[in-house]
Amino acid sequence: MLSVTVAILAILSGTLAFSIGAAKQYLDGQLQSESENAASSLALSLSQPSNQDPVTQELLMMALFDSGQFHAIRLTAPDAKLLFERSRDDQAEDLKAPAWFSQLLPLSQPEAQREVSDGWRQVGRLSVAVDNGYAREALWRSSVRMAGLVVAAGLAWALFVVLLLKWFRRVLQQEITAQVQAIDSRSGAAARPALPARAMVAELVPVLTAIADTRERVQATAQEQTARIESLELEVNRDPVTQLPNRKYFVNELRRALGAATGGHVMLFRQRDLLALNAQMSRASADAWLTSVGENVSQVLKSHAEGGPQLARLNGSDFVVLMPALLGPQAMSLVQQIRQVLLSMRVTLNDGHWCRWSFALTDYSSSSSVTGVLSRLDYGLMRAESSGQADVEYVAYGDEEVVSNMAGETLWRQMLMAALETPGMLALAVKPMAFQGQDGAQKHSEASLTLRAASGETLMGSLFLPVAVRLGLSADFDLHAVALGLGWLQQQPERSELVIRISLPSLAQADFLARLRELLQAPQWQPHLAGLCLELDAHGLMAYPHEVSEFCSSMALAGVGVGLRRLDQQPMALVQLHTLPLRYVKLGGDFSEQSWQSPGALHLLQAMTETAAVLGIRVVVADSVNAETARRLHKQNALTLWG
């Protein structure tokens, strides 16, 4: 179309140029002819015998000049003497043609000469120059009309081209564009645009046929590529066994959650005995069990879908749950449900023990980092594995991430204060424990504080007590637990021993010990104080040596026992055991089993058991150990978990 338009413009321009050129050439010829004819007629008149009078000749020449069609008339004698001359000034001419047109297309101004004679005598030479002003004006008017016709023809062609392009564009839209767009239709035939039944232009039928064939091939290829891309995405972002998101996907989601304005929680749980499970189960059975773990936890997460929790598998034994929109108690409720589901899915190992889960929980804010969150989870998991318990280890954000989530803290504070003030919200979960030693079996019970939330769910102490510590309420909860423990002892028909854990931060509070003494001095509790044993973490001997010493002395005066747990993790505490009136010390099962394989660890174990035996302190291994380890520990006067 562009080439045709250029050709049309060239033709119109050429026509205009040729027409104007032809008119100019014609007018030049007319001017030449007119000058020749006028000169001949005037010379003939002047040569007549009756017109030889100079006055008559002048009148004839003046009459011809005054007709206005001549530029100049001149008569010269044979001796070059000027006899007559009349000329018209160019500046005085009233011409309608513009100056630029006259310069662009100049017309000739021919001058004709004839001899004037009187018989055989030559009178002179006559020169006649025709005025070309009228011819120039005629050429201008002709050129304007011709240019107008050319412009009109050009506009008509332009209008035709516009209409043709619109029609052609509509045809392309209906015939070609719709077909091409249908190539990218991936949602089935129902979503494709309606295509015309037949071509509007017969010449487009081969093109439409080729496009239709291409569409079928492209869609088939696109389906194959889509399936391949989905497969690659699954391989890149999914765990091949459980089909859960993998570590890479989780880290990206965690980084995105940390960029949000609100905070949240992350839970990490590990199957500590996965190697043993793989050894005793076939690979298919182990994979099926891990898959069922993911499915059951995912079902729990669906009940909290409004919070957007996500489950992922970090590696073989580690799973993680991201809770970006659950704060405080809501997150703890979900954690409790996940923990219960996982504990219900435990399988028995070849040694007769249940496989073990370890749990860690941390919170995060917008100032947290991915590395910081994962480091806290690893630390919490290490603490959970060291304790040997199936409780959730809660690790709050550190000092390097001081921006707290005020909404979460406010919600926690309201719940914890309500629990302290409302009877029945706090209770003890009492677990009977049986230990086997060289002198036979011994029994006692261990209690942990639980909180019944307003929603009806029960939260374990490992979930809310770390928050109470952070909010400065640990002493209140510890005192409440002691009161509940004494009440439990009071209800027992026979003499029993109940162990209650005391938080180390409570010892650092100035009024805690005084309030505890006041509680223990109540008359109704006096008969049951001997059955109460308060347990501290051995780390307290390093962090709060004075407070722990004063606490143990006060409890000894009140007749209350004191136990020390995790002694194997604080070997430096051995040097202070002789200064404390302790009822027992606890060691970890892993430490006890591994000690027989390491001379250094074995010497440390023997030092602990021998020192405790000299001081009259019982040594208790809090976790299950194998039969050989139990036999050796019994020889060291240590008690091992039974049953």
Query: What is the SS3 assignment for 392-420?
Result: EEEECCCCCCCCCCHHHHHHHHHHHHHHH
| Lowest-pLDDT range of 83-92, 308-317, 341-350 | 83-92
Evaluate the CA torsion angle 539, 540, 545, 551 in order and state its sign: negative
Q: Quick check: helix, strand or coil at residue 363? A: strand
Tell me which of 404 and 366 has the higher pLDDT. 366
Calculated CA dihedral for residues 21, 27, 32, 38, nearest 10 degrees: 180
Q: What is the DSSP letter of 575?
A: G
Q: Taking 70 as the threshold, does the pLDDT of residue 363 lie above it?
A: yes
Question: Do residues 581 and 554 lie in contact, with contact meaning Cβ atoms separated by under 8 Å?
Answer: no
Tell me which of 216 and 610 has the higher pLDDT. 610
When the pLDDT of each residue in the chain is averaged and rounded to a whole number, the result is 82
Question: Do residues 481 and 500 lie in contact, with contact meaning Cβ atoms separated by under 8 Å?
Answer: yes
Give CA–CA dist 565/571, Å, rounded.
12
Place 452 in a pLDDT band, splitting at 50, 70 and 90: confident
Q: Taking 60 as the threshold, does the pLDDT of residue 458 lie above it?
A: yes
pLDDT for position 501: 93
Question: Amino acid letter at 385?
Answer: E
Contacts of 493 (CB under 8 A, 6+ apart): none
Tell me which of 577 and 594 has the higher pLDDT. 577
Place 198 in a pLDDT band, splitting at 50, 70 and 90: low
Q: Taking 70 as the threshold, does the pLDDT of residue 400 lie above it?
A: no
Calculated CA dihedral for residues 299, 300, 303, 305, nearest 10 degrees: -80
CA neighbours within 13 Å on the CB side: how many for 421? 6
Nearest Cα to 315, choosing from 269, 364, 373?
Answer: 269
Place 91 in a pLDDT band, splitting at 50, 70 and 90: very low
Question: 222-269: per-residue pLDDT in tens?
Answer: 788 877 777 776 667 888 888 899 998 999 999 988 887 678 899 999
| Separate counts of helices (H) and strands (E) for the chain | 21, 18
Place 77 in a pLDDT band, splitting at 50, 70 and 90: confident
